Amino acid sequence: MITLQGLSKRYGDTVAVDSLDLEVRPGRVTGFLGPNGAGKSTTMRMILGLDRPTSGRALVDGRPYRELDRPLHHVGAVLDARAVHPGRSARSHLVALARTHRIPDRRVDEVLDTVGLAGAARRRAGAFSLGMGQRLGIAAALLGDPRLLVLDEPVNGLDPDGVRWVRDLMRSMADEGRTVFVSSHLMSEMQLTADHLVVIGRGRLITDAPLAEVLDNSAWSAVRVRAPHPEDLVTALEAEGAGVERPGAGELVVTGVPIERVGELAHRAGVALHELSPREASLEQAYRELTSDSVQYAAPTGGRR
């Protein structure tokens, strides 16, 4: 588990991370989201002991990272998958890491096979594509069979099969009871992968909630209704304070009222329904709502000028 207690980081007058209190729990994939400059990378670096907090603490299983004995067995991390000596082969890079923790060479071969690089084990890392570099970084993260994974943009550069493989890997590790903490700008992928979301903006916590709750609370969540004669239902819904749009004849899009309540009101009003279905918000829509006041580097709308 990762625990942040009043975690803050300042660079001169700039506050990169501002008093974060957070627990990242095992047994689920926690997505870590926020606009550029929100403080995500700085937070991850403090968790891994690469940056020193200005105040507060970042703990891994109750201890600062620097106090962990043989840390690769506790935490596997990918912050910059290309941070590899370009002249080393993939296998040599992993063997060097393994020997710092007395990990046998057979484990190196296991993780190379796991990430699909067994056939490229002797190739120089400097000749790897971006996607192959990502796979090598993930292999290094898995080397110590850790209980916790910290991944920053792990699917960057991967093809669709690779993206699915990473998704399945994170899901399987969470299902084994491990802690998975992943940062990504790919909202569609996070919607498929994450169980829980942590969203920050300008260094401050915005949301710490299950994915389903974030989507349910979005203004974009709605109920779709089809009825041949919906007028009495519209009257009942508006009396409840619901928002009602009529995109076509016999069609309603209802916001502000749960789907169960829409069904109850239709029954009371004697309105026959041909369809009553949820229209779930996308994570991209919900994310834009949450971070609308926290975007530091917004481009003008309307395309090029």
Residue matched to tokens 């915005």: 206
Q: In this structure, which CATH number among 2.40.110.10, 3.50.50.60, 1.20.1050.10, 3.40.50.300 belongs to the domain 2-208?
A: 3.40.50.300
List all residues 6 or more positions away from 220 whose beta carbon is below 8 Å from its beta carbon. Answer: 281, 282, 285, 286, 289
pLDDT in tens, 8-27: 999 999 999 999 999 999 99
Question: In the CATH hierarchy, which fold is given to the domain comprising 222-279?
Answer: Alpha-Beta Plaits (3.30.70)
> Average model confidence (pLDDT) for the chain?
91
Alpha carbon distance 263, 261 (integer Å): 5
Identify the pLDDT of residue 55: 96
Identify the pLDDT of residue 220: 66
What is the pTM assigned to this prediction? 0.80
145: left (phi over 0), alpha (psi -120 to 50) or beta: left
pLDDT in tens, 163-216: 999 999 999 999 999 999 999 988 989 999 999 999 999 999 999 999 988 887
pLDDT in tens, 73-83: 999 999 987 78
Q: Could you tell me the pLDDT band of residue 217, with boundaries at 50, 70 and 90?
A: confident
Identify the pLDDT of residue 216: 78
Q: Which residue ranges make up each domain of the chain?
A: 2-208, 222-279
Q: For the chain, how many helices (H) and strands (E)?
A: 10, 13
